[in-house]
């Protein structure tokens, strides 16, 4: 990282207009449900958090187009 530049490494990138907002909201809801049902499973908890983070990133990106 330089003072006037940031490099982002990502596997996928979507433009705000490419995001299906209702589908991203469903993904967020699913992740939250998985998180609540994870119980003592660290693997299930970690996967739920990944799903939530991805959905939240999509929704935040989609909000940028407004």
At 1-58, the pLDDT tens digits run 567 776 666 667 777 788 899 999 999 999 999 999 999 999 999 999 999 999 999 9
- Identify the three-state secondary structure at position 2: strand
**Nearby residues of 36 by Cβ (< 8 Å), 6 or more positions away:** none
> What residues does 5 pair with on adjacent strands?
2
Q: Two tokens at 24?
A: 């991203």
| pLDDT number for residue 3 | 72
- Between CA 36 and CA 21 the distance in angstroms is 23
In this predicted structure, the answer to whether residue 64 has a pLDDT above a threshold of 90 is: no
Burial class (CB in 10 A: 0-12, 13-18, 19+), 22: exposed
């Amino acid at each position: 990282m330089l003072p006037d530049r940031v490099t982002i490494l990502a596997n996928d990138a979507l433009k705000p207009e490419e995001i299906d907002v209702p589908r991203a909201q469903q993904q967020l809801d699913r992740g939250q449900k998985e998180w609540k049902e994870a119980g003592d499973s660290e693997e299930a908890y970690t996967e739920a958090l990944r799903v939530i983070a991805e959905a939240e990133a999509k929704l935040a990106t989609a909000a940028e187009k407004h």
